[in-house]
Structure 1
Amino acid sequence: MRLFGYPSSRFALLGREAVVIAIAALGGALFATLGMPAAWLSGSMLLSTIVSLIRPLPALRRPWFDSTMLFSGTILGSAATPEALAALARYPASLAVLLVGVAAIMLATGAYLRHVARWPWIDALLAAAPGALSTVLAIAQAKGANIGRISVVQLFRLLVLVAFLPSLMQATGTSAGAPAPVLTAVGPSTMLGLVMAGLLLGLSFERIGLAAPLMFGATFASAILHGSGLVEGSLPQPIQIAVQILLGSTMGGRIAHIPRKELRGLFPLAIGGFAVSMGVAFLFAWPAAWLADVPYASGMAAFAPGGLEAMAMLAFAMGLDTLYVGAHHLVRFVVIGLAMPLVLMRIKGEKPGS
């Protein structure tokens, strides 16, 4: 049967995908109403996971994922404002400690998952990557890694950070800082130019075999345009929310398709991985905060292995030095984005996601 020139099965598929997206949007809206940081991402992921565990939902098709990666990169690149880039020059010693800390977090947490859980190194290192969740998911998709269990470890860490880090920072003391700059929304023509620039660079990255090319292409194109001052502002808020909903839906659906027995076994590993990551991160945060002459609470937020958006929102809410926190998370995102594909290219001899 055909409707309006299209097979009815196509309309049925679109209808099922609309239900999946609507469920994710409901979870994000609930978290946003409760005032949770990173609400649209974590809320959509959590409700999608819960519903899928009750009754598995169909996965969104590849074009949805590719579009999400393209727009995610465009949004993330907008954080590279001239002010944020100028802040990098004020914290050279702290940023040097950050680079060592990122490597230490990944090696320690990756070794834990490798030797305790017996995961392949690809899965272990992707799960251990501190923050840059959307980047990790894009690389996992491109490398054929076990994106479900990687998401469990990553999202457990993010949700615990969001829930408990503010109390931990209050216990250590905070200082009032300048509010984070609010980016205005770009116009339709500028938005089109940003997305097309990211798409062209992403296709170029794809030709040279870089993992997650659309994500990295869009990120670097957007960062160059914003950092040079040619573009000011980010994508409109409704589009940012839609991107987070789609990403949360993807993550929730992947987790839900993990066998129940395996999923139950992942939670102890997620707790252990979280403890290792946080212990190493906060160990490096102390000398970094001392070298930069900022409160230790700011160092904790800057080194906490969570997403850039979530940590920036927490820093703003706690009155911390948002430029310090944002600059460190931006550098970490770029380092992970550049280093992970190169590191994973050298890991051979194992079947990813086994």
Structure 2
Amino acid sequence: MVRFGYPSTRLAVWWREAVVIGIAAVGGALFSLIGAPAAWLSGSMILSAVVAFIRPLPVLRRSWFDSTVLLSGTIIGSAATPEALAAAARYPGSLLVLLAGMAAIMASTGAYLRYVARWSWVDALLAATPGALATILAVAQAKGANVGRISVVQLFRLLVLVAFLPSAMQMTGLHPDLPVSASVIVGAGTMLVLLLSGFAVGLVFERMGVAAPMMFGATFASAVLHGTGLIQGTLPPQVQIAVLIMLGATMGGRIAHIPRNELLSLFPLAAGGLVVSLAVAFAFAWPAARLAGVSYASAMTAFAPGGLEAMAMLAFAMGLDTLYVGSHHLMRFLVIGFAMPFVIDRVKADLPGR
């Protein structure tokens, strides 16, 4: 006899996934009720992480993640209006500062993990690399690095950034709590065109071997359609909230797959590495903000060593310059994806195990 609530294996999977998404939604709703900044993203991620630490949560299927990044890429790309693209002419200098900042973050945080934690240079540099978590873990696996401790440092940094960066900005006055201006909402037909276009470009990028193809494909397609003026407006607020909840559930749930003893033992090192990374990143963000003519809050979010989709959607949730933040994280993602395998090979050749 089949137990109530589990009439089939497929329904059982759906039920467990509904619980995971429900937990994230409750966290986002609670944070929204208390008026926390970026509430739906930070609240869903924090509650998911807390529950996952107490009792591991099931893993959402890949289709959930692909759908989420397709939608988030579409939202991010909608910021590329003709007016915003005209303003982006100020970005080249800021992007050059970003590249220098990336090198400084990796050198300083890598040195901290190498000389304080006594890690190998390969592990230290991979853990210190700002953002592009999936790419870094893939490189770590391919190069025989310690994936476990690298993932702890990377995930800790991402979780703290999403959870506390908005509140820190608000409390320090760097990002006053101002209402986000209303924007045009696209209809169902236009939304379908955007999603199908992003999906098609994503499939092309996948065939080309581009990392995170659905995210980049949706962002590119949406940016082209909005930048040329063919489409105006963004996705409905309900869809935007759902995307933030799904991203929070995905990020928070990852903590369930890290061994508890390893997580606790690496916590002090991860916290120290985060402090070093943020100090360097925010130091470089200041001149970049001046060069680009954007707020320091936008520059902080653009230079913060977090993941592309998380930080771009965080900027969106806080009403910052999404195009500026997204372009910088996209640049960093691409540079890391192309350069890190060669950098690690060079380090292993010059400093094997040292």
Query: 1:29 Cα shift?
Result: 0.6
Aligned to 1:153: 157
* Aligned match of 1:62: 62
TM-score, normalised via structure 1 length: 0.79
Structure 1 residue 9: Cα displacement: 1.3
Letter in 1 for 2:335: A
Cα RMSD for the two superposed structures? 3.5
Task: Evaluate the alpha carbon distance shift between residue 119 and residue 158 of structure 1 in structure 2; reply closer, same or farther with a 3 A threshold.
Answer: farther
Give the stretch that moved more between structures: 325-334 or 185-194.
325-334
1:18-56 C-alpha deviation (Å, 9 max, x unpaired): 111111100011111122222111111111111122222
Counterpart for residue 319 of structure 1: none
- The residue type paired with residue 74 of structure 1 is T
The reply to whether residue 49 of structure 1 matches residue 45 of structure 2 is no
> Structure 2 CA distance, aligned partners of 1:15 and 1:271?
36
In 2, the alpha carbon distance for the partners of 1:163 and 1:81 equals 28
CA distance in structure 2 between the partners assigned to 1:59 and 1:29 by the alignment: 22
For 2:109 and 2:288, locate their aligned partners in 1 and report how far apart those are by CA, in whole Å.
20
Aligned with 1:10: secondary structure? helix
Report the alpha carbon displacement of residue 185 of structure 1 after superposing the two structures with TM: 1.7
Residue 198 in structure 1 maps to residue 198 in structure 2? yes
Q: Are the equivalent residues in 2 in contact too, given 1:157–1:274 (CA < 8 A)? A: no
Shift of the 264–110 alpha-carbon distance from structure 1 to 2, 3 Å rule, reads: same
Displacement of 1:188 in angstroms is 1.0
Amino acid at match of 1:162: P
Amino acid of the structure 1 residue aligned with 2:24:
A
Residue in 2 aligned with 1:230? 230
Q: 1:51 to 1:210 in 2, by over 3 A?
A: same
Equivalences for residues 72-221 of structure 1 within 5 A: 72-90=72-90, 92-113=92-113, 116-117=116-117, 118=119, 121=122, 125=126, 128-129=129-130, 136-137=132-133, 139=135, 149=152, 150-169=154-173, 182-221=182-221
1:45–1:251 Cα contact (<8 Å) kept? yes
Match of 1:341 in 2: 337
Instruction: State the Cα distance separating 1:125 from its structure 2 match.
Output: 4.4
Letter in 1 for 2:130: A
Residues in 2 aligned to 1:249 and 1:119: alpha-carbon distance in whole angstroms = 32
- Which residue number in structure 1 is paired with residue 328 of structure 2? 332
Look up the match of 2:314.
310
CA contact (8 A) 2:126 2:136 kept: no
Asked if the contact 1:48–1:253 (Cα under 8 Å) also holds between the matched residues in 2, the reply is: yes
- Equivalent position of 2:257 in the other structure: 257
Return the alpha-carbon distance in structure 1 between the equivalents of residues 295 and 11 of structure 2: 55
**Contact (CA 8 Å) 1:148, 1:257: kept in 2 or not?**
no
Distance 1:290 1:56, change over 3 A: closer
Instruction: Work out whether 1:29 is the aligned partner of 2:29.
Output: yes
Cα-to-partner distance string for 1:237-258 (whole Å, 9 max, x where unaligned): 1111111211211111111221
Query: Distance between the aligned counterparts of 2:86 and 2:168, measured in 1?
Result: 31
Q: Note closer, same or farther for the CA distance 1:196–1:291 as it changes in structure 2 (3 Å cut).
A: closer
8 A Cα contact 2:197 2:218, kept in partner: yes
Alignment CA distance shift 1:197-1:301 (3 Å):
closer
Report the residue type matching 1:244 in the other structure: L
Pairs aligned (count): 331
Aligned 8 A contact 1:41 1:247 in 2 = yes
Spell out, residue by residue over 1:287-344, the C-alpha distance to the aligned partner (whole angstroms, 9 max, x if none): 3445567776775566455623434655x5xxxxx5xx54531321220232232124
Equivalent position of 1:281 in the other structure? 281
